Amino acid sequence: MRIKIEQLFFILTAIIIAFPVQAYLPSDPMYGEQSYLKQISVEQAWDVAKGDGVVVAVIDSGVDIDHPDLSFNIWKNINEVLNDGVDNDHNGYIDDLNGWDFVSNIPDPRPKLEEGYAKDAINHGTAIAGLIAAAANNDKGIVGVAFNAKIMPLRILDATGSGDVEDLVKAIDYAVNNGADIINLSLVGYDYSANLADAIRRAYQKAVVVVAAAGNTDSDIKGINVDVTPAYPACYGNNSTDNRIMAVTAVDQNSVKSLFANYGKTCIDIASPGEDITSLSYYYPADNNFKNYYSYNWNGTSFSTALVSGVAALLKSKQKSLTPSQIIYTLDNEADNINSQNPLYVGQLGGRLNAARTLNSDLISLEIGRLVKLANRSAVYFVDSSDNRHLFVNEPTYWSWYSGTWSDQKIETISQNEFDNLLVGKNVTIRPGANLIKFENSPRFYAVTPNAVIRYATNLVAAKLYGSDYQKRVVTIQDGFENDYSRGSDLTDSSYPDGSLIQYADSSDIYYLENGNKRLVEPAAFSANGFKESFIIKNVSQTFFFNTGKTVSELEDNIFIYHL
């Protein structure tokens, strides 16, 4: 089964929109040509977030990872050693420092100038990546929507812009298993694939947001109704029942449906500018077709999709604990109503993307949940603000998040009918840094890090990091819940994992480790974030060096995910 880049169109348009007052303005010299960013009010969104700490996988025709306006924001697999011929992180891919080429099965995700190449196809992935995360304020070219985010380049389309669904499935799984927060799919096919639907489901269950293009037709056809003729992967989610994917169509500078853009009430979630787009291009001066760093006059739902992925990355950056359903819901509900501009397509385009409203939405205030159980069952669930129920798989998992005794826990007993009306969310996993874990039928110990990534620790490593009595930290998880966790690189004795609380010898200061930095935890924040004395790794040697990050001074939802 084959998939391909949607048809591309080049239509010159002009957009003139005034700069907002008192909003973040980048200094990039070509920013004035990116009027579609002003159309979605991204400047006010940048006052709130800029994409820090978020990884966006661009599954496409390859990305120019050396592009001067993008290279700084290319994802790096920090657990892999380049060109040593070893799969250092045990993820099944050797030397995948910056992603993977699933077409050629090599660790070089750049485009390939294969015989019979199409120029647009070669440039496509780099243009998409640039819209999402081109660097800002670097005296070069354009700016991406989430200009502090990282791009994970995964090549699954060949030099003509077509590819195999099997490679797409592998790439989605790679992105999910290697830390992507958002997956951008600016590609379309019209044949259903159960394997691809399953890959989308796995991404959703692992809290990865998938954003996909609705697809294009020739302008004289004026798009197709994808409720009647589904376009995949965009239509693997039904926006009225089981919405696992954000499907994006295109509008012009007046928020009128682009002539080429597909539409549909149950498939399409949102619309975004998709005409006269300026972005990056693949640079290879040995070929006359690739002597420019930038490309112009792109048109298509591919580019609309990239803008939505960028705003999703901003939203995720603002609040790391947001689930895919929450991000999709917020993007949908804060979009501008464009029915009056599109009387022939009422309810079939979604609203038009509004970055400012999305990032300033009341829908994404710190989530406060509740604890529930059934009268005749002992199992306890955390219910989030979107009415997803999350099972605590055993008592050690529960007590890694909460303190006290069962008698003083505020657990609400609900009816079977109320329980059945709750959505099924992912299971709660052991709190990062709280315990070491093992599974019932295995002697191996693991440290738990954020996003339920576990890292194997040998007895020697565990003793070096946690002390000779490290086994007091070990709790057992039933084998049936092993799939709630994903595996990262093995732990070494040279550094403590993210999520740890450490205290150096001869010091009373407590630090929380995040992204390789140490963050001083103020006393009030220690309690507010649900930390316990038992979490602290004490008497840490000064030889363990970490850069200093921002002080933890209050409750942070990405630290205490299940706060009440």
The identity of residue 388, as a single letter, is N
| Cα Rg of the chain (Å, integer) | 24
Name the amino acid, one letter, at 378.
Answer: S
Q: Which residues pair with 403 in a beta bridge?
A: none
Token pair 């995910």 is found at 561
- What is the rounded distance in angstroms from the CA atom of residue 476 to the CA atom of residue 153? 37
Q: How far is CA 220 from the centre of its chain?
A: 36
Kindly give the interhelix angle for 301-318 and 119-133, rounded to the nearest 10 degrees: 30
Residue type, 232: Y
105: Cβ contacts below 8 Å, ≥ 6 apart: none
What string of DSSP letters covers 320-366?
Answer: TT--HHHHHHHHHHTSBP-TTT-GGGTTSS-EEP-HHHHHT-GGGSP
- 332's tokens: 């949908």
Residues with Cβ within 8 Å of 514's Cβ and at least 6 positions away in sequence, in order, are 450, 498, 499, 549
User: What is the amino acid identity at position 339?
Assistant: N
Does residue 145 contact residue 34 with C-beta atoms inside 8 Å? no
Q: Looking at the DSSP assignment, which residues form a beta bridge with residue 391?
A: 381
Q: Which two tokens stand for residue 547?
A: 């850069």
* Phi-psi group of 350: left, alpha or beta (phi > 0 → left; psi -120 to 50 → alpha; rest → beta): left
Structure tokens at 124: 């496509």
- Pick from 359, 353, 349, 348: nearest CA to 336: 353
Which phi and psi (to 5°) does residue 457 adopt? -125, 125
Q: Which residues lie closer than 8 Å to 425 by C-beta, 6 or more apart?
A: 323, 384, 388, 389, 390
What sign results for the dihedral spanned by CA atoms 397, 402, 406, 412? negative
Amino acid letter for position 275: E
C-alpha angle with apex 187: 176 to 344, nearest 5 degrees?
120
Q: Find the helix or strand (DSSP H, E) in which 171 lies.
A: helix 165-177
Distance, C-alpha 148 to centroid of its chain: 13
Q: Which residues are catalytic?
A: 60, 124, 302
Cβ–Cβ under 8 Å, residues 392 and 428: yes
- For 191-228, give the DSSP string: S--HHHHHHHHHHHHTT-EEEEE--B--TTTT--BTTT
Helix 165-177 to helix 194-205 angle (10° resolution) is 10
CB–CB of 390/432 below 8 Å?
Answer: no
163 alpha-carbon distance from chain centroid: 23
- Residue 336 in tokens: 């501008």
Bond from prior residue into 111 cis (ω within 30 degrees of 0):
no
